[in-house]
Structure 1
Amino acid sequence: MASGWARCSAARQLPLRLTVGAFFLNSGFSKIGADEATAEGLQQFAATTYPFLGKQDAQKFVRLLSAGELAIATALLLPVVPAAVAGVAVTAFSVGTLGLYLRTPGMREEGSLRPTEQGIALAKDVWMLGIGVSLIAEGVNEHR
């Protein structure tokens, strides 16, 4: 039987886990069966910041990206997965997308962290970083 603290903790995590989990679920499913042009576009964009990603087949890259997003969704949506584990997955993914934002030319205004119109789609991923870190902190706190 769960203690009052565990039930309270799970209730606090529920909005974070459901909203971000649904986001990752949608994103992962949307990439399944991506056409060649979409796969190549995603891979080329990612490879501008992370060159090693350009060395594999574009379709394989998108399948792996989709699988990763679906795995993160699963970690978030299954309550048996500890908050810290789900948080680490979300944090790692968000660090990758924020790396794209920080390193890709044209995403930020010159000499600033402020996004350009093109950069808003990636800059907004900072919310994932906050949620991931919050879940990690919650998970660590649960074990004390």
Structure 2
Amino acid sequence: MKLSNVPLRLATGAFILNSGLNKRNLPPEAAEGMQGMAANAIPQVNNLSPQAFGKALSTGEIALGAALLTPFVSSKLAGAALTGFGSGLVAMYLKTPGMTAEGSAFRPSQDGTAIAKDIWLVGAGLSLLISGLTPKRPIIGKVR
């Protein structure tokens, strides 16, 4: 892992791990609400019970947070997973009625601001993915 990836992985990993841990014992109403919003982007989540959805969401967030915090998980893999997770949140934001400002496809409404900010997860994931795909040493200007 590149030293420059450490702050990004610590910040995102700790945030997502904490979020997953806090969802371990979701009340059924909360799980149902989250499932309803997620179904706007991924309709297949409606095939799960709210309790199963809540458990899957919690487990997924815990696994992603732990992967980001684990040094031997490659930045390429951690970045790909974070990009996928963040992209799902952005898709949910874009497809949930009332999340974008009237007349805009992207600008958040007052209600959408809390979810629209998750675009930073996509940026962080792409940064890790690109970092993991690029060589550790510069190949341009290398003296032989």
Q: Report the TM-score when normalising by structure 2.
A: 0.89
Structural mapping, 1:99-114, within 5 Å? 99-112=91-104, 113-114=106-107
Distance in 2 between the 1:81 and 1:111 partners?
42
Moved more, 33-42 or 23-32: 33-42
**Partner of 1:94 in structure 2?**
86
Is 1:73 matched with 2:44?
no
Deviation at 1:10, TM superposition (A): 2.3
**Which consecutive residues of structure 2, in runs of 5 or more, have no partner in the other structure?**
138-144
Letter in 2 for 1:131: A
Distance in 1 between the 2:40 and 2:119 partners?
20
Partner secondary structure for residue 33 of structure 1: coil
- Of 110, 132, 138, the residue aligned with 2:131 is 138
Q: How many pairs does the alignment contain?
A: 136
Distance in 1 between the 2:37 and 2:56 partners?
15
Is 1:120 matched with 2:113?
yes
Deviation at 1:38, TM superposition (A): 1.0
Q: Report the TM-score when normalising by structure 1.
A: 0.89
Moved more, 98-107 or 40-49: 40-49
1:24-71 superposed Cα distances (whole Å, 9 cap, x missing partner): 111100100111111111111212332211121101001101111111
**Partner of 1:42 in structure 2?**
34
Distance in 1 between the 2:54 and 2:82 partners?
18
Distance in 1 between the 2:76 and 2:124 partners?
11
RMSD: 1.4
Which structure 1 residue ranges, 4+ long, deviate > 6 Å from structure 2?
Answer: none
Identity of counterpart residues, as a percentage? Answer: 44
Distance in 2 between the 1:74 and 1:131 partners?
16
